[in-house]
Amino acid sequence: MATSRGVLLSALADEAAFNLTAVEQFSALAALGLEYYSLRFVDLGRGVKNVMDLTLREIQELRHLEDTYGLNVASIASPIGKVKLVDVDDGTTNRYVPFKKYLAKDVVKACERAHAFETKLIRGFSFYPPRDADPEAHLEQAVDQIGQITDACHRSDLTFGLEVEANLVGRTGHLLAEIHRRVNNPALVLVFDAANLIVQGFSPAEVFKQWEAMKPGLGWVHVKDYRSPKRSAAGAGAKGGHVDEDALSHFVPADRGSANHAKIFADLKTMLPSLQKRLQRRGIPGVFVDLEPHVRGGGQFGGTSGPDGMGIALRGLCRVLDKAGVAYHLRDFDDLLAARGITS
């Protein structure tokens, strides 16, 4: 439960499982004491599917399993916005979808998934400009399309969270903050991820400045960390330039990397009361800190940690939160008794 100083812990559930089965994911997260998870990929016995591709039968099966394991969905970790802005061959494998079709099909489906799993949050992205293009040259189009997505979410009483990530238009905290400012819709929030900046070659001081730029629009935080890459490191390019995400291999827990999460969370603590009130007005239970550790590897559309890696990452995160004085809750014996209708 969030307090005036506290956060709600969550995790990208598929990272906790090697085979991505729902039972493996939920067993790992429940054993770690988590009460929330973000839904991305899952196998319900018919092969691995993205949340966007689940059938009504599979949604019902997953909801039943959530009750069994005592879990709730924090956010729909959708791939919305991870498509090209313009239909040009730029040497990438990113797909292009005409935006009207994308808005009518994919965005509507993401909203349906959020309602089906009783969450108010949809995670998304800020579109791919052509590789090596100046992202600012495509800012206007990105703002227009993100604005329309946000309007669709707002009409559905949902909130759209834009994650900062390499290679997108909103690849830096400053660019994402400018998108947020221009869209100017309460249904749009920003999702901070320090490792997604470190992999672009930004220093811890530069990452903190980008955190500060995103704070006015902050909705929640994704947590993974990275050891600072050298300029010649695999995957890393010039600051803010193209990153080969599938070549990145040095993700680490939040207490082992270069991002200085302790400083970021100490700063988050000062704004928690006002941020919680703003989110709760939109029906969101609190400020989520969502683990996406990638400690066994990560790429453009996901990563792997395994149950052991997720446990290591969670313990690292808890150490950082303790150091910053930010409260959080993990399930304990009293919670088990309460689930059985027993008061201790």
Residue 264: CATH number of its domain = 3.20.20.150
Note whether residue 143 is domain-resident: yes
Report the pLDDT value the prediction gives residue 264, as an integer from 0 to 100.
98
Question: What pLDDT does 246 receive?
Answer: 78
CB 179 within 8 A of CB 142: yes
Q: How many CB atoms lie within 10 A of CB 105?
A: 12
Find out whether 158 and 145 touch, Cβ atoms under 8 Å.
no
Residue at 344 is within a domain: no
Q: Do the domain assignments include residue 2?
A: no
pLDDT of residue 1: 39
Is residue 1 situated within a structural domain?
A: no
Q: Is residue 3 part of a domain?
A: no
The answer as to whether 311 is a domain residue is: yes
Which residues, 6+ apart, have CB-to-CB distance to 181 below 8 Å? Answer: 217
Instruction: For residue 44, give its domain range.
Output: 8-339
Note whether residue 20 is domain-resident.
yes
Cα separation, 152 vs 149, in Å, equals 5
Which residues of the chain are under the pLDDT cut of 70? 1-5, 228-238, 298-302, 344
CB count in 10 Å sphere of residue 48: 13
Our count of domains for the chain comes to 1
Rounded to an integer, what distance in angstroms lies between the CA atom of residue 45 and that of residue 59? 13
Structure-token pair, residue 49: 């599917």
Q: At what angle do helices 204-214 and 261-280 cross, to 10 degrees?
A: 10
pLDDT of residue 344: 66
> Which pLDDT does position 192 carry in this prediction?
98
Q: Is 331 exposed, middle or buried (0-12, 13-18, 19+ CB in 10 A)?
A: middle
H or E segment to which residue 37 belongs: strand 36-39
On whether residue 135 sits in a domain, the answer given is yes
Cα separation, 323 vs 189, in Å, equals: 27
